[in-house]
Structure 1
């Protein structure tokens, strides 16, 4: 589910002393201490609430005395959370906060001059699970459309997996994949009947996917079924 693990991103301008930390990851003491060694840490930013991105934030704040900022208020440590349109200026860089719900309701991306940090909204390999019911497919498609409209040439710095070359291209590929999956689910419902269970749809649509991933696929299918039924 996390590919090689969670990517923790440390950002600073070449001449800056401080650093911004994006997604400190799970509560892994050696990892968090390695991050702290690259300080002083100006701010700790969270892309979304899942433990593999956010669990270690409070401990890193203890180690560095840096504030934790997120959309989910339960994660915030300090005076300010994060919201759509905010600009974070620290460590010689500026990040624009982009609200990108869908994977979760609190998912954010952070846009730099030459890159976008996408958390789990876009992965370095494979596709994103919609964490239903907190995540919603309609929201996610809207978020992908926003990323597709970003200027050309912005690199993707994802929450898992390798960097990608162009955010807009990747977002359009994600949109095409989602539409393909939706059509497969529509076809499955025509074959199985409109009251088919998510598990039945997974067994038909995701037959070529390793069954270890079926529970995650079932979460996405629940989101797809809700989306299709609301659309009539």
Structure 2
């Protein structure tokens, strides 16, 4: 598998294409905006989208769900506690940007510990609430998509509706148990390693 990053939208969200090189199928992680840019990239490298995974329900991570669903006839997956955000502009925070229509409900509901079969591998869902009630990380061999739970040398905001500092700190404890060699693909900004975050992220290296 390989990962292609497409930076989209006014707050520079990382949309990821998780590509199975054997089959040319891909999963779309957090298509937050600019559906045309995402479609162009998929077309350019001749991929076949198999589904969408939202790491949480904020507008900057779900904004292109509907156009991609309509074009490729693929399901959207999100954790059960953020599922209502896909149709609720206040929960997704899109209401505050002037957007009042987002999309339809998800086809697949995710839970902690679920495994998604893709490209002869399993992607494990880890429920990591704190930034939102239904935030998740998705981990497989060698990498982890952390959404807005964990960034390089920082963590996601907890001062937005549904945020909780105690929950996100508990979620970080879950991530501390993962292999340190994992590459982190966050919702915004650059990729980094979990080992580097253990050394330099003040929220992860607390004793």
The normalised TM-score by structure 1 is 0.68
1:122 deviation in Å?
1.0
User: Which residue of 1 is the match for residue 83 of structure 2?
Assistant: 73
Q: Which has the higher helix share?
A: 1
Measure, in 2, the Cα distance between the counterparts of 1:65 and 1:174: 42
The correspondence of residues 153-192 of structure 1 with structure 2, limited to 5 A, is 153-166=181-194, 169-170=196-197, 173-175=201-203
In the TM superposition, structure 1's runs of 4+ consecutive aligned residues that sit over 6 Å from their partners are: none
1:150 deviation in Å?
0.6
Match of 1:9 among 3, 12, 16: 16
1:141 deviation in Å?
0.4
Partner secondary structure for residue 166 of structure 2: helix
Match of 2:54 among 46, 52, 63: 46
Measure, in 2, the Cα distance between the counterparts of 1:160 and 1:16: 28
> Against the structure 1 CA distance between its residues 129 and 93, is the aligned structure 2 distance closer, same or farther, given a 3 Å change threshold?
same
Measure, in 1, the Cα distance between the counterparts of 2:143 and 2:204: 22
Measure, in 1, the Cα distance between the counterparts of 2:83 and 2:25: 25
Which has more radius of gyration? 1
Asked if the contact 1:13–1:93 (Cα under 8 Å) also holds between the matched residues in 2, the reply is: no
Q: How many residues align?
A: 175
The normalised TM-score by structure 2 is 0.75
Measure, in 2, the Cα distance between the counterparts of 1:133 and 1:177: 27
Does residue 142 (structure 1) correspond to residue 150 (structure 2)? The answer is: no
Q: Which has the higher strand share?
A: 2
Where does the alignment leave 5 or more consecutive residues of structure 1 unmatched?
180-232
